[in-house]
Amino acid sequence: EGGSGITTPLPGESQLPITVGMLNAPKTFLEKRSWLRGIMAMSRLVEWHIVTFYLLSVLAFSHDLVWGWVYTLQVASGVFWLFNSLAICWGLLEVWSSYPGIHLPATSIFGSIFVLIARFLILVYQTLYLMWTFGPSKGSYLGIEADSTFWWWQYVWLSLLCMTPYFLEALTNLCPAITTKLYTSRNDYIQTFLNILFPISRLYVGKEVHESLKHTTVYVFFWATLIAWKLCFSYVFEVYSMVLPTIELTDDYANFPDQSFIKMSLLLLLRWLPQFIVYCIDMTIWYSVWQAFAGTSVGFSEHLGDIRSMKDIRNSFGRAPEHFCSKMLSPDAGSRRGSSASFLNTQSESSLDSRRQSLMNPNSKEGQSLLGNDPHKLQGYVNRLLDVRIQKWVMFSTVWNEVIDQFRAEDLISNKERDYMKFSRFDGFSQAIYLPVFQTAGVVEEALALLERPVDDYDPNDNDLFKPILDHVTMRTAVSEVWELGNYILLKLLGPVHNDDAVFIMNFILKWVESGTVVDHAKITKVRSVVSSLAQLVDVLSQGIGRRKPAAQRRSTGKSKKAPENNVPPQRGGFRRAISASSLSATSAQAPAPSNAKAYENVVIADALRDHTRDKCRAFINSLKGIMIGSDPESKEVMDRLTFSLSMENGFFWDDAYASDALDDMARSDIFKSVLTKLQGLVSCHPDEVEPKSKEARRRLTFFVNSLFMDMPNAPSIHDMFSWNVLTPYYKESVTLNKAELETRTDALGVSTMLYLQTLFKADWANFLERMGLQDEEKVWSKKYVDETRQWASIRAQTLNRTVSGMMYFEKALRLLANLERLDDDTTNDLMGEKFGYIVSCQVYGQMKKDQDSKAEDIDKLMHRYPHLRIAYIDSVRLNRSGDMAFYSCLVKSDGNGKIQEIYRVRLPGNPVLGEGKPENQNHAMIFTRGEFVQTIDMNQEGYFEEALKMRNALQEFAKRDGPMPTTILGLREHIFTGSVSSLANYMALQETSFVTLGQRVLTKPLCIRLHYGHPDVFDKLFFITRGGISKSSKGINLSEDIFAGYNNAIRGGQVTFKEYIQVGKGRDVGMSQIYQFEAKLSQGAGEQSLSRDVYRLCHRLDFSRLLSYYFGGIGHYFSNVLTVLTVYVVVYLMAILALYDLEKIGDRLITPMGTIQMLLGGLGLLQTIPLFSTLGVERGWWASFRELVQVFVTGGPLHFMFHIQTKANYMTQTILVGGAKYRPTGRGFVTQHTPMDEQYRFFASSHLYLGVEMGAGLIIMGIYSDAGQYFGRTWSLWLASLSFLASPFWFNPLTFEWNVVTADYAKFISWMTGKSGGATRSWSIWWSEENSFYSKMPAASKLWFVIKSILYLTIAEGIARSDLLKADTTLNKPAIAISFVVAAIVVLFVFWWLLSMVEHLMPYPIRRTIGILIGIGLMVSCSTIFIEDSNFIRYGLAAYYGIGAMCQIGLLFGIKSVKNFYFVHDLVCGHIIFIPLFIL
């Protein structure tokens, strides 16, 4: 325990702990902090670039100098010398990396020494043979007289000896299984050979790192085509363009006597260096292009993006149940699908079958069919309803409705949208389920258009007329639903008085349908008028029924008269004449009101809905009469019935009390309202009106339906599925946002988080108020609603609540699937604990409880809400007064009674958090996981209910084996949900979307090198806990702990797969400083990776094609950023130096501007957008993808991306040279406030602003001195880079250009610059000291880079000083004031300034301020005078700027404090360079 517990035996044990042995064990790898360590890991890539660049150069010179093929071959053979030289370099670097401290066996030492000596001797002779090959054609060397060809062949034969390992490696790269066979061979001779010449083979890891021959062939083809194109492009634009300047320089040196060889060599180096750097990074561009092509191809082959819109869902909806049931329901569910009784009601199956075979009459207590006593007339109608079995639709509809209900619970959709989206079920109706309105809306309109098509397009009979409708499943279903539901509405509306007439008419129509004679009895082309009338009637009912308040008592007598069986209406007491069916045919469309209405005790009742409904109902009956063919007897009889219904004085149309009671009955009936909503959607709604308005709801639905048609393993039963646990590390982030956090307003914007969320999610907020039943928003903070309000806000921020809520959908989904499999509740509860568990590792939960932190209370509420949630934490207990502590890993849960119950308490040997906090937090909680697999979920992620349904399918991927290695990591797709927060958040979301979808897809297939990049991945728990765990946590080196799980997996024989039929939500940073810190963390993590043993061993073990895939798909991205910024830097100073020293032209030849490299630098940024374009194109469509990219460019996206190229380059460089990698918490909050200028300056000065100013100054100098012309064409990409570094932090900062804000920022900046205390946030002096403290800790080798930079500054200073810029002859124009006098005055003023700073604390403020102003004015006047009197001083001042910069850089390296004053002036100037445009704009 305490301090000595780690190095002494534990109580009751005699053996020392393993930590003692680990401390004393010799190291096997030294993580030296140098670029050389990364170069060693990527030695084969460096070698390839050097060798191919040399060969392309030979080819280019051969073309221009017209070499013969023999001579070209001889020059090209110099590549053998290069190979051997590089091999010796790698050998020497191995020695450097192993000294001191690495313990190597004798065989390895002997092998290394032997190889180095042998290669060195061969190199000596290679050098001699090459010299003699290109020497005189005849000569005597080593006592042998022979021509150059003889020596060249000697060189070739000798080179073949040292090239043998390369030839063997090339063979194994084409068939990597050979390497595995050799490494795992038990042959003593092979192992001896490997131990001596390949010491890495002695390692336990890295034995099996190959793929199948099929996969190898595919990724080799990928890289073969890419390399072929890269070499062609590089030859034309990077190598060949340099041949002519090189020939001209060497020609001048050879033909002019005053030329210096050193000068020529230096100029050649300066001109070729940018080309070579671009050659090293341009493959990143082509990888992006090839990645886009491959990712698009794979995406389409996996059916990604087949369904992109609600229209696509409607088109594919009929096939969805079949795919759903075959893939997502287990065989157990399938064997029990015979009855759908449990989904409808509790009545017997036979009763339900009987009811499904006939339409129910709502006015019959006996359940009489609308078809009279024959229940089989609609059998064909029901059978044609759906192509798939009704049981599958019932299963699918159950899940679909649950998904839609979940959308409503999350407030993504409104109540109305929910009703439109759900399947309908009406007890006793003919169908078990009715399609959602969104599926059938507008389909009736399409059917009407088909019925109205020209007569010439079909034969005048039912079969041809209705064939297009019958062939279209959805259309046929919609028509049948309109018929059934319309009948129900009308029967319910008209009531028992009209029941017999209505049933009579319906039977006639059904008879016509069954006999195929509809066209003989009705004018089908006029059906639209009937449907329109019905739609108007339904609209009136829909608007009024929901608001109607039924009367307490019925107002009608309930008396009714029926027509006699002979179809003649009965005699009625109030009529003076008999009205027969035949006589009714001659009456008008609307019968007159009976004259003796009082006899029927009708009471005048004011009822607007009744009157409107009557009008619409009359119009409907009249339109129905209008389509009947009057010459047909049956049609005439129907018309008579309709006319009689309109004239019945005690019926719906004339009895006010009867009609009002009918409407009251409907207002009381929930089933009527549901049927009415359904029917309104069928006949009145356009498809656009019934679709969810929420983009998020549409996105999730389209993805879910699309995934049903993708290739996923079939689901096992709940009993047989794999078990898994979800693990989330948590520290101190927000759990559930409280009122104070939501209501607090910030600075000038005056925007609270709650207001921001209400504005950002305006529709969701309206849906929330609707769900809560609130009209007054002020009530959301009342005691009744406050918890729901906090929940609503929290699941829209990046909180633990959002993550836990999303992950617990897994349990809800499993329960639903268990219900579909007919498992009882007890069995289901037992299986939940066995198959799924969720553990949140809240590292400091115990301390929060002790401190009574509100976050602990919020975590407790989560446990009470989700009984299967477990919280793991580290508890510390003080043992004695001396401060010794005992540490425990604890696990707690809710006991179900509102209290927290401790389950486990495991004592630890010490504090488990020794390294990086996040992986240590995960590691200590691993012992509490129980499943076969572990899914790691970050705290800024979320789950979706519809995706949770597919998890057991996804786990079956581990049972598959696609290659020689077992599947040990399952990668899942991520959706970045923070893209809508701001433009910056959108850029970040798009960038991450491309990486986590298309990038991961290509790394998996075809490149076979995906590792572990994110936290939705699922791990084979047994594999990993026996091989070091899922998280490495050493301080610094394992900053990016995720990727090391992938490294560990790869070199220990595991395989990674990545599937996109399931997704997990992911939040990203949304503000400039948050994104900056995130990119800094990733870049520092990449820098640390390049130093690690994992990367070294993996890179030396992968075949060359997979090494290329790993480099350009992973860590190489950061190396390329470093090289890109280095190229920009080199090009700026190269052009400036060439212009300063008049070296742009070679001799007196015409200047050829170096424009090619500008095109390459610009192309790097533009072509990098191709993967994003492809990602969006596959999933959203190409036009939508193009529009998104245009929006990104218009809103300043290129500035953002270029800005973060430097972010990555800066922090990776700093980490490798100095170290200091650390986790940077970004907060993940919303950016609702303006960031002051001084804070922005502190954030970005060292990494971006200084470089932007420096580049701008260099380009101005180049523009002043250049004679080459085409200035803009040569520098546009460089100016763009400089502008992005300077402007991006302010362009993306809210209210940057508001005058009041700018002036306030300026005041804060000046106050910060002049501050003396208060920490780095209040004082420039303190900030500067902290910011530059790393220079003193820098190793000597790292300081060399800054010494080179100082030499560069001095070179610029010398060039400016010796130039003719503003040169004046003071001998001709005597200055009015002697220059020496002005210089002396300046010196005196500076002395006074220094003295004032020493004694200012003793002086009153007015005196101190006055003296300071006078000294400042004196300095300004003196400096202006000296520049006016002698313009040479302008040039000298410019040169001094660079000269002082060089001296200050050296002073920083060696800890000279006086340079701080110069940097103060520099920062003051830089700040004003930024502020001047802000004031102007």
Find the range with the poorest average confidence among 6-15, 322-331, 1249-1258, 1316-1325: 6-15
Tell me the C-alpha distance between 460 and 455, whole Å: 7
- Tokens 């061969």 identify what position? 122
- Tokens 């890993």 identify what position? 889
- Tokens 């040039």 identify what position? 1435
153 to 72, 145, 149, 949, 1052: CA distances (angstroms) = 15, 14, 6, 70, 45
- The DSSP-derived string for 692-730 is ---HHHHHHHHHHHHHHTS--PPP--TTTSPPEEEEEEE
Tell me the C-alpha distance between 235 and 897, whole Å: 75
Helix (H) or strand (E) holding 538: helix 527-545
The three-class DSSP label of residue 968 is: strand
Q: How confident is the model at residue 1065 (pLDDT cuts 50, 70, 90)?
A: very high
Mean pLDDT, rounded, for 1135-1160: 73
The three-class DSSP label of residue 935 is: strand
Q: How confident is the model at residue 73 (pLDDT cuts 50, 70, 90)?
A: very high
Choose among 125, 133, 123: nearest CA to 74: 133
Mean pLDDT rounded to a whole number for the chain = 83
Of 561 and 1125, which is predicted with more confidence? Answer: 1125
Structure tokens at 1326: 């303190």
Tell me the C-alpha distance between 1088 and 1095, whole Å: 10
Of 356 and 53, which is predicted with more confidence? Answer: 53
CB atoms within 10 A of CB 1029: 18
- The DSSP-derived string for 655-681 is -HHHHHHHHHHHHH-HHHHHHHHHHHH
Of 1343 and 1099, which is predicted with more confidence? Answer: 1099
Of 564 and 28, which is predicted with more confidence? Answer: 28
Tell me the C-alpha distance between 154 and 504, whole Å: 110
What angle in degrees, to the nearest 10, is found between the helix axes of 1237-1244 and 1072-1091? 10
Q: How confident is the model at residue 330 (pLDDT cuts 50, 70, 90)?
A: confident
Task: Name the DSSP class of 1150.
Answer: P
Find the range with the poorest average confidence among 138-142, 664-668, 1008-1012, 1464-1468: 138-142
Pairing between β-strand 1055-1066 and β-strand 967-976 as defined by DSSP bridges: parallel
The whole-number pLDDT of residue 357 equals 33
Residue 669 contacts by C-beta under 8 Å, 6 or more apart in sequence? 492
Its sign, for the CA torsion 368, 372, 376, 382, is negative
Mean pLDDT, rounded, for 1138-1160: 71
Instruction: Tell whether the model's pLDDT for residue 1460 goes beyond 80.
Output: yes
Structure tokens at 473: 């499943």
Identify residue 208 by its one-letter amino acid code. Answer: E
Mean pLDDT, rounded, for 976-1004: 84
pLDDT in tens, 857-891: 999 999 999 999 999 999 998 888 887 888 999 99
Of 432 and 440, which is predicted with more confidence? Answer: 440
300 to 304, 710, 957, 1174: CA distances (angstroms) = 6, 10, 20, 11
The whole-number pLDDT of residue 1218 equals 85
The answer to whether the CB of 894 falls within 8 A of the CB of 900 is yes
Choose among 143, 303, 293: nearest CA to 226: 293
Task: Name the DSSP class of 472.
Answer: S
878 to 847, 887, 904: CA distances (angstroms) = 13, 9, 19
Identify residue 1430 by its one-letter amino acid code. Answer: D
Q: How confident is the model at residue 10 (pLDDT cuts 50, 70, 90)?
A: low
Q: How confident is the model at residue 935 (pLDDT cuts 50, 70, 90)?
A: very high
Q: φ and ψ at 413, to 5 degrees?
A: -130, 160
Instruction: Tell whether the model's pLDDT for residue 568 goes beyond 80.
Output: no
Residue 729 contacts by C-beta under 8 Å, 6 or more apart in sequence? 841, 843, 918, 921, 922, 925, 938, 939
Mean pLDDT, rounded, for 921-941: 92
- 3-state helix vs strand vs coil in the chain, percent to 5: 65, 5, 30
- The DSSP-derived string for 1008-1056 is ------STT-EEEHHHHHTTT-S----TTTTSSHHHHHHHHHHHTT-EE
Tell me the C-alpha distance between 567 and 587, whole Å: 17
Give the angle subtended at the CA of 870 by the CAs of 864 and 874, to the nearest 5°. Answer: 120
Choose among 382, 379, 359, 380: nearest CA to 371: 359
Instruction: Tell whether the model's pLDDT for residue 584 goes beyond 60.
Output: no
Tell me the C-alpha distance between 1059 and 713, whole Å: 11
The answer to whether the CB of 39 falls within 8 A of the CB of 219 is no
Identify residue 473 by its one-letter amino acid code. Answer: V
The whole-number pLDDT of residue 805 equals 95
The whole-number pLDDT of residue 1159 equals 60
The whole-number pLDDT of residue 1426 equals 66
- Tokens 């990074």 identify what position? 281
Q: How confident is the model at residue 1458 (pLDDT cuts 50, 70, 90)?
A: confident
The answer to whether the CB of 403 falls within 8 A of the CB of 945 is yes
- Tokens 């928003």 identify what position? 777
The whole-number pLDDT of residue 2 equals 39
Identify residue 1249 by its one-letter amino acid code. Answer: L
The three-class DSSP label of residue 136 is: coil
pLDDT in tens, 1162-1201: 655 566 678 888 888 888 888 888 888 888 888 888 888 8
Query: Partners of 751 in the beta sheet?
Result: 746
The whole-number pLDDT of residue 905 equals 93
Instruction: Tell whether the model's pLDDT for residue 971 goes beyond 90.
Output: yes
As a whole number of angstroms, the longest Cα–Cα distance in the chain is 148
The whole-number pLDDT of residue 355 equals 35
Tell me the C-alpha distance between 1320 and 1331, whole Å: 9
The whole-number pLDDT of residue 1095 equals 93
pLDDT in tens, 1324-1342: 989 998 888 888 778 888 8
Task: Name the DSSP class of 973.
Answer: E
Pairing between β-strand 967-976 and β-strand 941-942 as defined by DSSP bridges: unpaired
- Tokens 């009279």 identify what position? 372
Chain-centre distance of CA 1247, in angstroms?
26
Give the CB-side neighbour count of residue 254, counting CA atoms within 13 A.
Answer: 6
Residue 1437 contacts by C-beta under 8 Å, 6 or more apart in sequence? 1427
Give the angle subtended at the CA of 862 by the CAs of 856 and 868, to the nearest 5°. Answer: 125
Q: φ and ψ at 949, to 5 degrees?
A: -65, -25
Tell me the C-alpha distance between 551 and 595, whole Å: 28
The whole-number pLDDT of residue 29 equals 83
The whole-number pLDDT of residue 1234 equals 79
Tell me the C-alpha distance between 93 and 724, whole Å: 46
1013 to 992, 1000, 1007, 1035, 1331: CA distances (angstroms) = 11, 9, 15, 19, 31
The whole-number pLDDT of residue 1321 equals 86
The whole-number pLDDT of residue 1231 equals 65
- The DSSP-derived string for 556-609 is S--------TTSPPPP-TT-SS---HHHHTTS-SSPPPPTTGGGGT------HH
Q: φ and ψ at 971, to 5 degrees?
A: -90, 140
Q: How confident is the model at residue 90 (pLDDT cuts 50, 70, 90)?
A: very high
Structure tokens at 1153: 């501007």
The whole-number pLDDT of residue 454 equals 77
Pairing between β-strand 900-908 and β-strand 967-976 as defined by DSSP bridges: unpaired
Mean pLDDT, rounded, for 1070-1099: 88
pLDDT in tens, 218-238: 999 999 999 999 999 999 888
Of 1400 and 772, which is predicted with more confidence? Answer: 772
Choose among 1029, 972, 975, 1021: nearest CA to 1001: 972
738 to 774, 863, 1175: CA distances (angstroms) = 20, 18, 38
Max avg pLDDT among 100-104, 844-848, 1361-1365: 844-848
Find the range with the poorest average confidence among 11-15, 70-74, 718-722, 1135-1139: 11-15
pLDDT in tens, 801-830: 999 999 999 999 999 999 988 888 899 999
Residue 558 contacts by C-beta under 8 Å, 6 or more apart in sequence? none
The whole-number pLDDT of residue 749 equals 56
% of the chain at pLDDT higher than 90: 31
Instruction: Tell whether the model's pLDDT for residue 146 goes beyond 50.
Output: yes
Instruction: Tell whether the model's pLDDT for residue 28 goes beyond 70.
Output: yes
Instruction: Tell whether the model's pLDDT for residue 966 goes beyond 80.
Output: yes
Of 266 and 11, which is predicted with more confidence? Answer: 266
Tell me the C-alpha distance between 8 and 3, whole Å: 10
Q: b/e string for 796-832 if b means 16 or more Cβ within 10 A? A: bbbbbbbbbbbbbbbbbbbbbbbbbbebeeeebeebb
Instruction: Tell whether the model's pLDDT for residue 156 goes beyond 70.
Output: yes
Structure tokens at 487: 């009948």
H helical segments located in 1226-1368 = 1237-1244, 1250-1265, 1271-1291, 1299-1314, 1324-1331, 1334-1337, 1340-1361
The answer to whether the CB of 92 falls within 8 A of the CB of 116 is yes
